[in-house]
Each structure stands twice: as structure tokens, then as C-alpha cells.
Structure 1
Amino acid sequence: MNNFMNTLESKILPVANKIGSQRHLLAIRHGILATLPLTIIGSFFVILLNFPVEGYDQWIAPYRQALDIPFRFTVGAMALYASFGVGYALAGHYKLDQLSAGFLSVLSFFITCVIPVQVAEPVKGVIDAGRWLSISSLSAQSLFGAIVTALISVEIFRFFIKRDIRIKLPESVPPMVANSFTALVPTLVVILLFWGIRHGLGFDINSVITNLVSPLKDLLVGNSLIGGMLTVFLIVFFWTLGIHGPAILGPIIRPMWDSAILENMEVFAETGKAAQLPNLFTEQFIQWFVWIGGAGSTLALVVLFLFSKAKYLKELGKLSIVPGIFNINEPIIFGAPIVMNPILMIPFILAPLCNVIVAYTFFKLGFIPMIMAKLPFTVPAPLAAVISTDWTIMAGVLVILNFIISLCIYFPFFKMFERQHLRDESVESNS
């Protein structure tokens, strides 16, 4: 076991750290995370539009169009916000002007992903003539295109700044004005490049990227049990090495997670039927039904620690129980520790994998509809599970069932770990 742990530490840890600190992946992660307040608030409006109370639809009908607006301009325009966020984050790494980089990213996104449509027939009270932009082009369907065009735009910006190809103004000019002129040449190049590709060559970057990513997205965040288990395994495996699992996988899988839940929310906003949504393995599925108390389903271990005979474990349980209820488990991961701990690593990986299988079965049998809302990760799991599945009580029951399963899986390993601590405490008290 020691040899195995040494191999993990010497071979895998450096590679994982290198991936986790790669600038483009970090920019994607930070840029997407910056949109979190918008998607959470947008989720509340989805719930408000489709509250499961008899007669609610008729009561809300006169206000539905007005109440739909916050959803359309948060969740419905997520790719637009992500393009700015990713460009802004990457520019920060390069120490470029972040506002200019963000605007360039949005510009390239608009040129490649949003096509103006000529009005064929006037719509009374809406538009008589001219061209209009479909807001659907700004939603989850364009998220991957937005990320790629943002990264390319910032790299173009950096290319010109690094080689000092810019319009220079006297030092007496205010920095904000000087930065604007500095971005003139990169802006022209970005426009010509993406305009030429999309409208000159007729090459749809967004569609190509979406098609390339689709098989991986379908595997990891669609409805594949193997894909769901693979995602969960990789996250908890990296945690056992002391690496924040989502920090490694986040840049790759978070755009897929966000795209999947946004698709669910959009379909639910249109139909009001949570059972007919397209994606099962969203981040929220893992958050509420697998990560009960945090990655590794550690709330069960915290509860066991509370009743431990070992003084240290009991005190750690007391310190970890409140954060654990709100799905924050760093105290237990690094305090026990679970990191590089051969005893606790096994249930830390095994418990969430079992939870995935049980939850998948409940959803596939139709006991629980799909997830249609994105709530803050600190909401206690049973409550969040009920709300995010269109107020389905069985979802809360499933969370409790998976917690009991995790408790049973952790128990024998907890007893071994406890005996180890009791021996150490006994030796310490007798010395």
C-alpha cells in the first residue's frame, strides 16, 4: 500500500497539478464560475414560473411574459456572459487590459455565433422591418463556441501587445483612453478573422465545436450511468491526492454541466414538465444525491465521528458537522485526514459511486423527475433535492436513503480508523 501511495504522489500528483494550473483551463473555470449568480437567480424565476400548485398556471398567466424576462436575460443569455468572463480571466493571467479583452471576446462571439435575421413579414407591435437577433443564440447552445472564440480573441490581443504592435499615445493621456487605442489593431484583426471565417468562408465554428464535444458531453452529463460514475470517480480520486477535484476537471466538465442544466431549465420553462427534460447527470444531480455533505458523501463520516470514542475524532466531528450540513467538507477531508489515507480513501470513493447507482435507478424508474433548477451548493441536500426536482418529496427520501447507504459503507472503515486513534491516544496517555 505504501508503494502504491508513493507512486500516486510521485507520478500522478505532479501531472494533476500541472493540468489544474494550466492558464486556459483556469480561465474557463473562473469565467464560467463568474456566471453563477445569474444562473442561480434565473433558476428561482424558473421555479416561480412553474410552481406545482393547482390553479397556479391560471393565476400567473397575465404575468407570465413579464416574469419570463429575468430568466431569458440570465440563463437565456449565459453564453454571452461566459464569453466575457473567460476573456476577462485569461487577460488577467497575461496582465493585459481585462476590459478590452472581455469586449473582444464578446465581439468574436457575436460575429461567429449570432446571425442577424432579416424580417420577412412584419410582426405587429414587435418589428416592422430591418433585422433582429435571436436570443436563443446567446444560450447554452452557443456556450462552447463562446469559450473557444474568447480564448482565441485574447491570444490575438496578447500577440499584438507582446510584439508592441499598437497605436501609442503620449504618456499624458489617461490610461483608460490609452488602453482603448491599444486595442484598436487587435479589434480590427478579430473582426476580420471571425467575420471572414463565418461569413466569408461560411464556416460555423460554434456548430463544429458543439458537434465535436457532443459525444463527450452525452457520456459525462447526459444519461449514461458509466459516464456519471466516471465523473464522480475522477473527482473523488483527485481529492484523495489532496487536489481539489473540481478544480482539475472543472475547466473540462463545468461548461458541459452548465450547458446541461441550462438546457433542462430552458425546456422546463417552455413545458413545465420536469419528467421530460433531456439531461440526468447535471452537476446538481451529483451535488444533491451523491455529494451528501460534500465530495465523497462525507456527512456520514462526520456523524460517525460525532459518536467516536477517540477524542480527536469526536472533536473533529463537532467542528465539521455544521459545515457538512451545508455541503462544505474541507475540515473533514484535511482534518481526518482523508487525503493520502489508505483506510478512509476506500469508502470516500466507494460511497459516492454506490449513491450514483441508487440515484440513477430511482430516476430511470420514474420515481423522481429530472432536475430543473440550479440552487446554491450550500443549501442542505434534502431540501435542495426536493426544490430542484419540481418539489418532489421522493427526492428528499432518496437523499436520506443514500445518506444511510454511505453511513453503512463508511462504518467498518471508521471503526478501523477509530481503533488506530484509540491506540495512539492510549500510548500518548501512558507515556
Structure 2
Amino acid sequence: MNAVILIVNIALAVVLAVGLTPLFVWWERRIAGFIQDRTGPNRASIAGIRLGGLIQAIADMLKLVFKEDFTPAHIRYKFLYTIAPGIVFFCSFLTFAVIPFADNLVLDGISYTMQAVPVSLGIMWFLAFAGLSVYGIILGGYSSENKYGLLGGIRASAQVISYEAAMALSIISMLLTYGSIHLNDMVHAQGDTFFGIIPTWGIFMQPLAALIFIVTSFAETNRTPFDIAEGESEIVAGYHTEYSAMRFGLFQVGEYAAMSASCAIIVTLFFGGYQVPWLDTATLKDNIDYVILAIVLILPIKLFFLTKWMNKNYYWLDKDDSRQKEKGILLKAFWTIAILVMLVLIMFLVTGLGENGTNIAVTAIQIGTFLIKFFMMAFVYMWVRWTLLRIRYDQLQMLGWKVLIPLSILNIVITAIVVVAMGS
């Protein structure tokens, strides 16, 4: 059983960090189209099936896989040039290893940790690998022996010394607040409420630390407005100018893996992680029948609004018959899956779950809660990218050294005073 649960956790980490890349590419293009008042990708298809534009992202991925991997002849440090994308990818991927997807699962009296790598390093693991990923960017720019690539690497170096200190200092405030480096302990602490109303999430307990960490996380992932290392309007493509095919693809996948890891750690530290608001693990177990009944009632309502959005989205100027046919197939598939899920949940309500079944149901609900928060945070990342302009790297240094670091130090002092005062 331990091996099965470990495989499930590893599969979750792999899917969220890497497997969602085509979906995120598609989602980001659709969000960009919505913000810019256009439709986004909706033409590429397989036998007339477009999947709402997802086929375009899959086609782009396949193009990178089968494209010629070209190495320029002028490159002398070919080993560094080759391993740089791998460093970015693996460091971004490994940051997901310690994210708890749910509370400990108890089966037959044995407790299982719901994270890919059950180590006790906690937030320190995230800081270590998140900080190492920048070496791939620097090495990629340096080994390219291209002035634009070198400038991108220099910008990445300037960027990392601007935000890394503020990020670490903001986490120190969270360590003082929770009294632990273990992410599962931090999520447990966010299961309570203030005055029985406000959840004790990190965003409410440490709003300044949350703001600093979220801003520095955008810089960590090299996304707008902090994508200065690859400013295409200034230095072509920066550190990956000389890369093609899957080596370029690894940089792109690494960027989305870093974004996924940042979303997961932000949700874990500041938005309650897998905790359902006002329902901690014990409360969920005691009221599992009511929770399942609520899911049965809410699921068709959510699906109704999704299909309503799909109906609106599929009306296009050409009134393409194949598009209307695809809409019908997707609607039937969604409603079929929803009805099957509802029938299974109703069967559980009628027959009962038992102790192990209740624990598994609570774990599944908490994983679903984590995923909802995770995707909402990913939407914020994409929203910001298509809303704000890129800042100059000297402005990032000014922001880091003159604003974020002083604020994070002030927040540590205030947090320490409050912790000592409450402890006494």
C-alpha cells in the first residue's frame, strides 16, 4: 500500500509540474485572447476536433519534439550548453517534491504522507532547488557565446541577487509564525479560524510577507513583469537565443514547472494548502456525508455554467458545422462524466464508506481543494503576464534592495515582537 500511495503522489507531482504544460500554454493563450478581446487559438484540429484550441498547444509541443536540434559551430563550452536546460528543468521540477497534497492518509491504522518525497526539509528544500535553477539560465547565456545570451545571463544574475534575499526573509517571518519548517505543519496551523469566521491562512496572518513572497515568486519564475533575462524586445530572446528544438523546449517546460511550483508553495504557505475553509480534517471526517451531498448538488450547477460558457465560446463568425459538432461531443462527454461521478457519490451515501473509505474520501476532497487553489493561483500568474509591462533590471534591483528587503526585515522584527509577547 505504501508503494501505491507513493506512486500516486509522484504521479500528482509529475502531472502538476510537467504534464500540465500543454494545458497551461493553451490556457494562457485563451486568457490572453480574452484580455485582448480576441478568440485565441481555435483553428488547429485533428479530424475536425479542436478541443477548444488545445490541439494547437499539442501541435506546438510535437513540433519541438521532432524539430532538428541544432548546435551552433562557434560554441566552445558544449557540455555547459547542453546541460543548462536540464538544470532549469530538473530544479524547477524537484521543487514540487515536498508539497503536501493532502493531510496524512490513515489506512488500517498506518499513516501515509501525501507528498512525493517524504523528507523533513520542508520549505528549505524549495529554497534550495528554486535558487539553483538560476544557474541553468546563467550557464545557458554564458555558454552560448552570444552577446544577447550573455546579457540575458547577466540580467539573471542581477535579478537573483535582487529578489532572493527578500524571498528568504519573508519565509523567516512565516517560520516564526508557524514555529516549523515542515510544510504539512504549516498547513495544519491554517486549519483554525479567527473568531470562528476568518481562516488562519498565511495571507491573513502575514499579509506583508505574502505580498513580498508573491512578488519575488514572479521574479523567481522569470515571468512578466520580471522576464528581463529574456526580453525579446531588447535582447532577442536572452539566454536561450541560441537554443532550438527540445533544448529550447526544456527551458519553456522549466518555466511552466517553476510557475507550477511557485503556485503550489504560495497556496501551501498563504492560502491554507489543502485545507477546506472552515473544515479541517477532523471536521471533514465527522461530516463526510454532508460534504459529499454538497458536492452532488454543486457539481451540476458548476457544469451548467461551464457549458454555458462553451456555448458562447463556440459561436464564431463562420458558424463552422464541425465546430458545432465538436461542441456537442464535448458537452455530452462532460455531462456523462459528471453524471457517473454523481451516481458513484450517491452510492457511497447509500451504502456508507467505512473508516478507510472515509479517510480516502477526505484525502480526495483535500486534493481537489488544493488543485482548485493551485489553478486559481496559476490564473493570477497568467493574468499578471498579460496586464503589466516588463520593468528594467535596474528597477528590479531598486525594488529588491530599497523596498522589499527593508520591508521584509521590518516584518521579521514585528513578527518576533508579537511572537515573544504572545508567548510570554
**TM class, shorter-chain normalised?**
under 0.3
TM-score under structure 2 length normalisation? 0.26
Q: Which has the larger radius of gyration?
A: 1
TM-score under structure 1 length normalisation? 0.25
